[in-house]
Amino acid sequence: MEIGFIGTGVMGSGMITNLLKAGYQVNIYNRTKSKAQSLIADGAIWQASPQAVAEASQIIFTIVGYPSDVEMTYFGEQGIFAATMTDKIVVDMTTSTPTLAKKIADAAVKQGAQALDAPVSGGDIGAKNATLTIMVGGDAATFQQVLPIFEKIGKKIVLQGAAGSGQHTKMANQIMVAGTMLGLSEMLVYAKAANLDLEATLQVVGGGAAANWSLDNYGPRILREDYSPGFFIKHFIKDLKIALTEAKALNLNLPMTELAEKLYAELAAEGYENSGTQALIQRWWQAE
C-alpha cells in the first residue's frame, strides 16, 4: 500500500520516519522541499504537489499549520481534491476546526472517497517514539481500514464519533494542556522564589497528585533552558483561539483558557512565536 503524507514539520517528520521503518512506501510533499531532504534520503518519495501525492497514494495523511493551510491543501488548484479520489481515504491530522473537518468529509464522499479527522497529542517526542494519542472522527469502517497505520505512529487511538469529533476532542485536550502549562510555569516560579532545588521539586511533584505529561516532558527542558519547539507557541495560540470560538458557540465561558491564550499571545508578540510551549516560563524569568 502506498501512503501519502503532506507536511514534514516537527510532527510530520517523526510520523513519516516511523511509517518508513514499518515498511510503507510513503509519498511526501512539503511547501519547502529542503525541510524534507532527510526524509527523502531515508526513502520517502518526493511529489510535486498535494495533488500529485493524492494521485500516487491510496491513503493520504496531512498535518500542516493552520486551518487556512488545510483548506489550500485540500481545495487549492493543485490540492488533494484536484486528484482522482475514487476509493481513497484522506486523514487530516492537523489541529483544525470541526467545521472544516466536516467540509472535507462531505467533499471526499462526493468524489467517491472517505475522510477522517485525526488530530494528535504527544508533541515531537510522541511523534518520534510512535506513542501519539490519536483522536479520530469519521466513519467506523474507514477507521478500521486506517487503524493498522495509526498503530505504527500512535499508542492510544480512539474513534470519537462522526466527522468533526476528532477535532472537538483535540480542543478538549488543548484546554487541559493550557491549564497544565500554566500550572507547571507557576509551580516552578514559586519553587525558584522559595529557593527550592528545582530538579528535586520536579521529582517530588511528579510523584504525587500533581503528576502530568507536561511536567514530565517540559519541566526538564525548562531547567535546561531548552525552549526548542516540541509544539510551536504560534500553533498553540491557533488551537486556543479555535477552542474559545467553539466554546462560544456552545455558550461556554472558559476563563482559564482565555488567560492562557492571552499570556501566550503576549509572549509571541515578544518574539517567542517559534519557541516551544514550555517557553511560557519566560513571562516570569526573562526579566531576571
Q: How many CB atoms lie within 10 A of CB 270?
A: 12
**Residue 85 near residue 154, CB atoms below 8 Å:** no
**Residue 264 near residue 237, CB atoms below 8 Å:** yes
Catalytic one of 170, 192, 238, 248: 170
Rounded Cα distance, 247 and 181, in Å:
20
Q: Is 170 a catalytic residue?
A: yes
C-alpha angle 182/220/212, rounded to 5°? 50
Rounded Cα distance, 201 and 118, in Å:
36
Rounded Cα distance, 232 and 202, in Å:
23
Question: What 3-state DSSP class applies to 44?
Answer: coil
Q: How many CB atoms lie within 10 A of CB 122?
A: 24
Rounded Cα distance, 136 and 159, in Å:
5
> What's the one-letter identity of residue 166?
G
User: Would you name the residues annotated as active-site residues?
Assistant: 170
